[in-house]
Structure 1
């Protein structure tokens, strides 16, 4: 099978998808922005051909590159795993007659108001939302629905560009800050615990799944410096209750949006209104989630994805032997890293449960709090007991401090 894979070099874990496809027997043709000579020998060895383009989000460049490849070999699939690459990849598929996720499905998985309209029609509980093209529409929605509300670009990923507003003053400030966006998704704020549900689907059916929890919710975590936020992949997903509800919702969402053979990443809330859908991406999660799933489940999730793409099946089964999580360590101010306190204590107490860590050295420029879980320092851990892991991660947050100046 000949598979075009978009951007095999950056970010770094993209190479894992390339590796897995090659190990499943695919002939991988990479298309990326990095010059061939800059790629390392291992990555080169997983590909049979490589095309460099100026931008993998430029439709004309990507279409031309894929047609050049089609002039040499039959292309069976074109795969992309980064949110910002999804729409162009879908458009190239349709222009070049390549099977895979359609433009319609990609649009529904990126445009938040359209996504939720389609899912409400399928009976999925979602927040009330609109897509607004001007400030007047936003103000009218606020008058009808009331506060608090959430504003974000219609096609953003995760919490990028997202803000919560609680009154007219906050709304005015948020609209001014978002002035550069052509269209805004506005929705009611849903109270409740926040988590996500990740799958690998084969022909629309869930073949592999994982559930994770945020502590605290994403908006609070990405706006509050003193918090050391976590997300934790549970090993209790087979225990029924809420997880059965999540699985049922995921199946309905996949069917309603036309998701076929693909990784998915679905965000959800659970609170006074029960389980409420937030949004979904027709792609793998970011922030190293699959690395946590690999470490916790004695399996190679990248290989499972590649097997689904190449062979239309998933033969691996997660052990659910451990829960696994990440905790982000924020600098106490913006500037440059000057040092850490508490690291040795944590290593001595919990070293056997640490999967890996990223501890930038003194002099490293800090990144803004809103840049995400892996923007600065972080530690990833696992433990057979989910509650015990939560306690360890909390202790890391209380003990380890990243100092900057």
Structure 2
């Protein structure tokens, strides 16, 4: 039997971790619909479970691997795999983030409570677990709220409620509450929205990169060329967000790992929205890697494996990312990557769909066909690059029955 030193509980990040799969010391636990993606990338050791959120199924799949590899580490590259990875570490006494801390980072109500207890600014909120309680709480708050599944990933299931009729329609559509219920959050008059991405070493952010979204995430819809741009490291708002990030990390008890923090700014100041103990999705890691001058995923994996490493990094200015929006259907034609890379300010393009692919409807309000890594200059502002991408990108699709 092969001796492994890393279990990856993987879902939709197969290509992002492509450099990892030829390593025979890596064992993958994934779901049936992702198995072919990983096998196509050369993964040599795979277990398949129906759902990585079923922590007992993941534990059973990991049993034989862990029994032969006592110094094993576990990597959770996506939100849906964080709980299972924490469960494995706690069950088998493995190094890394345990189950309780994983819950702090994946349960939005518990996260909000811990932030409030530690004095980290958050929007007013309430945790409800039944549809009648949801209706009562939203009504009590004046029908101007954001509803989030208690255990959710990205923007899936997130809904803005702005009236009683909309609330009633939503309530009538509920057959079974989501696991853990919902977090009902007072709507914030967001002027700007930011994200912070960093490693965490000894309870402190290491090499943090602060970025500003082009527009608040709840404004994204199908067709939006969403994305973000990195703030200068001396920017006063960036420094305030780094301070807020350190407080958030301590409030949730993370000793070592990686974080992706989402922060609102309204007329009164900064508000901590959510934090995850995994790398940011979409084009975030493209921009963070370019800004740090070294591959972010490589550093995350080295840290999770317990390898000694110099985690310091330089900051190279001007980077950002722009998403290439998609709908659903079979792709008839899509812009050539090289044509997009010919746009002034576009550094690299990562296309995630190609001609003939079937694009499924997203559970959230937006989805992407790929991402552009971009870099602005004094004579080339970020918004101009984004406009050029919007003008040149073409994606045509046919309906699929």
TM-score band by shorter chain is 0.7 to 0.9
Query: What SS does structure 2 have at the residue aligned with 1:239?
Result: coil
User: 2:239 maps to which residue?
Assistant: 244
Residue 212 of structure 1: CA displacement? 2.2
Q: Which runs of 5+ in 2 are unaligned?
A: none
Residue 219 of structure 1: CA displacement? 2.0
Residue 147 of structure 1: CA displacement? 3.4
Residue 89 of structure 1: CA displacement? 1.7
What RMSD, in angstroms, separates the aligned Cα atoms of the two structures? 3.3
User: 2:346 maps to which residue?
Assistant: 353
Query: What SS does structure 1 have at the residue aligned with 2:103?
Result: helix
Distance 1:163 1:205 in 2: 33
Query: What SS does structure 2 have at the residue aligned with 1:311?
Result: coil
TM-score (norm 2): 0.84
Distance 1:174 1:103 in 2: 33
Residue 111 of structure 1: CA displacement? 1.4
Distance 1:358 1:14 in 2: 12
TM-score (norm 1): 0.83
Residue 190 of structure 1: CA displacement? 1.0
Alignment partner of 1:289 out of 284, 288, 312: 284
Distance 2:56 2:211 in 1: 38
User: 1:190 maps to which residue?
Assistant: 188
Between Structure 1 and Structure 2, the one with more helix by share is 1
Q: Which runs of 5+ in 1 are unaligned?
A: 45-49
Alignment check: 8 A CA contact 1:354 1:380 kept: yes
Q: Pick closer, same or farther for the CA change 1:188–1:61 going to 2, 3 Å.
A: same
User: 1:211 maps to which residue?
Assistant: 210
After TM superposition, list the pairs within 5 Å mapping 1:4-403 onto structure 2.
4-7=6-9, 11-13=13-15, 15-16=17-18, 18=20, 27-33=25-31, 39=39, 43-44=43-44, 50-55=45-50, 56-182=52-178, 183-192=181-190, 193-222=192-221, 225=222, 227-236=223-232, 238-309=233-304, 310-311=306-307, 313-330=309-326, 335-339=329-333, 349-350=343-344, 353-358=346-351, 360=353, 364-368=357-361, 371=364, 374-376=367-369, 378-384=371-377, 388-403=381-396
Alignment check: 8 A CA contact 1:7 1:33 kept: no
Distance 1:11 1:158 in 2: 14
Alignment check: 8 A CA contact 1:6 1:79 kept: yes
Alignment check: 8 A CA contact 1:295 1:355 kept: no
Task: Say how many residue pairs are matched.
Answer: 389
Distance 1:209 1:231 in 2: 18
Distance 1:77 1:361 in 2: 35
- CA-to-aligned-CA distance 1:104-130 (integer Å, 9 cap, x gap): 211121111211111011111101111
